[in-house]
């Protein structure tokens, strides 16, 4: 409960020191008796506790002054009525005991004032009506280099002739002087003491100028820091708003105005508990904890994400700071980041491989006419942006030529992205090439950028293009024609600038005839065709290739093998190399591991290489005893192919059949179990790079 009542001072001398002490004594007794807090408020709005001697005396109340007496508490009305009645009385005491208590209060107030004077950092000199010193605090002693006992009671002019105390006392007007004292330069503020309209002395405050200059320097530093912070806040792209402890918005930066679509004049001064009582800023102020990642929808249609932090000062919350971003901007940044990270991840996987590749076409070993003819076409194609189709048997170096073609092209500084179409299952190939959106299918936890996006501006190498399923062929055709696509599960059309290099060891013409390869895609790919000859058609390159692989592999394996014996080289040149350069590298690696000396001999080579044939590995032939049914030969060939290749798809490529045919025949002969797995493990261990 709060109660107010006006009171008019009737005492002729107003509320002087003794009367003020009586008022404070009375207010203190009433506050204890009624359990309330009593306050006095003047007509000009000054409000002080009625139980403070210095505060009441500082009101300088004269006869006729009007006070508003107020109290809070259950006994407010009774306490206010009694104190108001007392203030309007003649302040008569009720005996010697009361006067003693008043005198004690005056003594206590005097002691408090003395303690204040003593602890002041500024010098304090008070003179009376005859300019005699009545107060001379320790700071004044330090500035005058004079002890108080030698100043008190003396006319100030005896040791301070330039003070102009008499002028101020007589004129009744305050003055300011810059003076030189023994303790240093000071700024003196002289204020007359007036009682009942008469000048009764002068109060002089002496501020050490060096201290003032220090404070001015600190003020300039604070002002400069404030201006810098203001400039930073005004130039950042994040929206920033500040609220005080009551939730009133005190500041918003220009970015915040732009993001929320409102002017500063419409925001500053508004209370968030009214605008958004359940918003992130309100929650932060109520809980005293950070609120991170809060989504909010503004009237302008924008969705914002906000981070709000409460401002703590000396253990109390004095406000909060909110930093907001437009979600669309965040999504753009996230999109760019995902793309960069996806490209970085892919390039990291390919880095070691790229470092080992020779530079452009100079690193392709061989001087045979067939190879030189193929490389001449490739070098001319490098300067173009047309699609290139590299054809040749497995192991002839199609990827090596594709990388060299990219390295010699204007796109050399852009990405080179390789995709093995045969190694990726059909259902996953679309996502691999074009990417997918989050939630496009089970397991799509986040957006993924496809290989075409990663290759933007550069080259994409589609290896084993002949193994691509017809549905994917149609989608690839659109990319070739329009240079655009959509991610799996997405609706946004993405345009790319990608050069396509394709490669295959399959007979595309036969596949087109039988309907397994789209004719329109065939003509789109078959713009510039490079035919790589098999190793058996360029036997003159075998010695150089063998020596190159020997040097490289001996260094990698840490073996001291330096050359190849003539009889061993003759075996290598005689062999037909169905696996081409990859098989040659594999044979050299085997020989380097098995060689007992520094020279590879014929004994270090596989028996089928020495004999110039292909290992039978138990496959029956027409010359091996009695003639067998065709199914026996078919089963033996399939078993060997699965054992060596490790999968139906790879076995199909090796046998020149399609994947479905090999799978069906394997199930017919019960070859779907251990043959493929066991053979696959051995092949993975021995397959050349």
- Write out pLDDT tens, residues 438-483: 766 666 677 788 899 899 999 999 999 998 888 889 889 988 888 8
Find the mean pLDDT for residues 385-402. 92
In this structure, are residues 296 and 303 in contact, taking their beta carbons and an 8 Å threshold? yes
- Give the orientation angle of helix 648-655 with respect to helix 630-645, to 10 degrees: 120
**Two domains, one topology: 237-329 and 535-610:** no
In this structure, are residues 141 and 147 in contact, taking their beta carbons and an 8 Å threshold? yes
SS (H, E, C) 528-576: EEEECCCHHHCHHHHHHHHHHHHHHHHHHHCCCCCEECHHHHHHHHHCC
SS (H, E, C) 83-95: HHHHHCCCCCCCC
Q: How confident is the model at residue 621 (pLDDT cuts 50, 70, 90)?
A: low
Q: Comparing 145-159, 219-233, 276-290, which segment has the lowest mean pLDDT?
A: 219-233
pLDDT (0 to 100) of residue 689: 28
Structural domain 120-212, CATH architecture: 2-Layer Sandwich (3.30)
CATH number for the segment(s) 237-329: 3.30.450.20
Top mean pLDDT of 156-160, 173-177, 401-405 is at: 401-405
Average per-residue pLDDT for the chain: 81
| pLDDT higher at 4 or 116 | 4
> Edge-to-edge, what's the strand order for the sheet holding 388-391?
416-420, 459-463, 499-504, 388-391, 528-531
In this structure, are residues 567 and 601 in contact, taking their beta carbons and an 8 Å threshold? yes
Q: How confident is the model at residue 197 (pLDDT cuts 50, 70, 90)?
A: low
Q: How confident is the model at residue 354 (pLDDT cuts 50, 70, 90)?
A: very low
**Nearest residue to 73 via CA among 30, 32, 34, 29:** 34
Q: If you write DSSP's letter for every residue of 402-442 in order, what string do you get? A: HHHHHHTSTTTTS-EEEEETTTS-HHHHHHHHHEE-TTSST
Buried b (16+ CB within 10 A) or exposed e, 447-463: bbbbbbbbbbebbbbbb
pLDDT (0 to 100) of residue 675: 45
Enter the tokens of residue 563. Answer: 């050359």
Contacts of 9 (CB under 8 A, 6+ apart): 15, 61, 62, 63, 64, 65, 66, 67, 87, 88
Pick the CATH number of 535-610 from 3.20.20.80, 1.10.8.60, 3.40.640.10, 1.10.3720.10: 1.10.8.60
pLDDT (0 to 100) of residue 112: 55
Q: CA 403 to CA 408: how far, in whole Å?
A: 9
Q: CA 206 to CA 137: how far, in whole Å?
A: 11
C-alpha distances in Å from residue 283, one per residue of 239, 249, 278, 656: 19, 15, 7, 70
**Nearest residue to 525 via CA among 533, 535, 517:** 517
Q: CA 551 to CA 562: how far, in whole Å?
A: 7
Q: CA 375 to CA 50: how far, in whole Å?
A: 104
The ranges assigned to domains in the chain are 2-111, 120-212, 237-329, 357-528, 535-610, 630-686
Class of domain 357-528: alpha beta
Chain centre to alpha carbon of residue 52 = 56
User: DSSP code of 395?
Assistant: T
Find the mean pLDDT for residues 68-73. 90
Q: Comparing 140-144, 180-184, 402-406, 409-413, which segment has the lowest mean pLDDT?
A: 180-184
- Write out pLDDT tens, residues 269-325: 999 898 888 888 899 998 989 988 888 777 767 778 889 999 998 888 889 999 988
User: Which run of H or of E encompasses 216?
Assistant: helix 209-235
Q: Which fold has domain 2-111?
A: 3.30.1340
Enter the tokens of residue 241. Answer: 């708003």
In this structure, are residues 183 and 120 in contact, taking their beta carbons and an 8 Å threshold? no
C-alpha distances in Å from residue 656, one per residue of 181, 506, 511, 668: 111, 8, 11, 19
Find the mean pLDDT for residues 194-221. 75
């Amino acid at each position: 409960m709060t109660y107010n009542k006006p009171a008019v001072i009737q005492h002729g001398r107003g509320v002087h020191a003794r009367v003020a002490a009586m008022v404070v004594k009375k207010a203190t007794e009433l506050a204890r008796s009624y359990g309330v807090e009593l306050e006095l408020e003047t007509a000009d709005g000054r409000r002080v506790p009625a139980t403070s001697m210095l505060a009441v005396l500082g009101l300088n109340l004269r006869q006729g002054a009007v006070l508003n007496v107020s109290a809070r508490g259950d006994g407010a009305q009774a306490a206010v009525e009694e104190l108001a009645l007392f203030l309007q009385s003649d302040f008569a005491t009720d005996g010697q005991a009361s006067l003693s208590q008043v005198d004690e209060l005056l003594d206590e107030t005097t002691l408090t004032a003395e303690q204040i004077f003593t602890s002041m950092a500024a010098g304090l000199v008070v003179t009376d009506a005859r300019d005699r010193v009545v107060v001379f605090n320790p700071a004044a002693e330090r500035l005058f280099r004079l002890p108080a006992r030698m100043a008190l009671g003396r006319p100030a002019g005896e040791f301070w002739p330039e003070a102009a105390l008499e002028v101020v006392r007589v004129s009744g007007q305050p003055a300011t002087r810059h003076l030189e004292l023994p303790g240093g330069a000071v700024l003196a503020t002289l204020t007359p003491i007036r009682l009942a309209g008469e000048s009764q002395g002068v109060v002089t405050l002496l501020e050490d100028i060096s201290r003032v200059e220090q404070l001015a320097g600190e003020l300039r530093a604070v002002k400069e820091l404030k201006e810098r912070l203001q400039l930073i806040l005004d130039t950042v792209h994040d929206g920033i708003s500040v609220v005080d402890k009551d939730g009133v918005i005190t500041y918003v930066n220009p970015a915040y105005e732009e993001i929320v679509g409102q002017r500063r004049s419409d925001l500053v001064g508004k209370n968030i508990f009214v605008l958004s009582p359940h918003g992130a800023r309100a929650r932060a102020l109520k809980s005293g904890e950070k609120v991170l990642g809060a989504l909010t929808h503004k009237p302008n249609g924008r969705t914002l994400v906000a981070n709000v932090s409460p401002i703590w000062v000396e253990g109390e919350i004095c406000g909060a700071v909110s930093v907001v971003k437009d979600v669309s901007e965040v999504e753009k940044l996230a999109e760019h980041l995902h793309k960069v990270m996806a490209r970085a991840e892919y390039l990291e996987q390919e880095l070691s491989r790229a470092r080992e590749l020779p530079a452009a076409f100079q690193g392709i070993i061989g001087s045979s006419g067939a190879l030189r003819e193929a490389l001449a076409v490739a070098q001319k194609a490098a300067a173009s942006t047309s699609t290139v189709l590299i054809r040749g048997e497995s192991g002839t170096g199609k990827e090596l030529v594709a990388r060299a073609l990219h390295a010699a092209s204007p796109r050399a500084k852009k990405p080179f992205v390789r995709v093995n179409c045969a190694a990726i299952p059909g259902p996953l190939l679309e996502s691999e090439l074009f990417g997918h959106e989050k939630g496009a299918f089970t397991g799509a936890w986040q957006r993924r950028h496809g290989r075409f996006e990663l290759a933007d501006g550069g080259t994409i190498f589609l290896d084993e293009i002949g193994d691509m399923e017809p549905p994917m062929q149609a989608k690839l055709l659109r990319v070739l024609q329009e240079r655009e696509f959509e991610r799996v599960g997405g609706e946004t059309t993405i345009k790319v600038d990608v050069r396509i290099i394709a490669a295959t060891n399959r007979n595309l013409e036969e596949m087109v005839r039988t309907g397994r390869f789209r004719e329109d895609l065939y003509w789109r790919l078959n713009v510039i065709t490079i035919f790589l000859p098999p190793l058996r058609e360029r036997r003159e390159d075998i010695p150089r290739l063998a020596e190159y692989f020997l040097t490289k592999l001996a260094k990698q394996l840490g073996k001291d093998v330096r050359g190849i014996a003539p009889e061993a080289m003759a075996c290598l040149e005689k062999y037909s190399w169905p696996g081409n350069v990859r098989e040659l590298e594999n044979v050299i690696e085997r020989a380097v591991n098995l060689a007992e000396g520094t020279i590879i001999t014929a004994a270090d080579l596989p028996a089928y290489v020495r004999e110039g044939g292909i290992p039978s590995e138990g496959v029956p032939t027409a010359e091996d005893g009695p003639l067998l049914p065709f199914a026996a030969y078919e089963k033996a060939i399939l078993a060997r192919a699965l054992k060596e290749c490790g999968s139906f798809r790879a076995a199909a490529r090796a046998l020149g059949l399609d994947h479905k045919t090999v799978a069906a025949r394997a199930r017919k002969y019960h070859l779907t179990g251990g043959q493929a797995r066991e053979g696959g493990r051995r092949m993975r261990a021995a397959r050349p790079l």
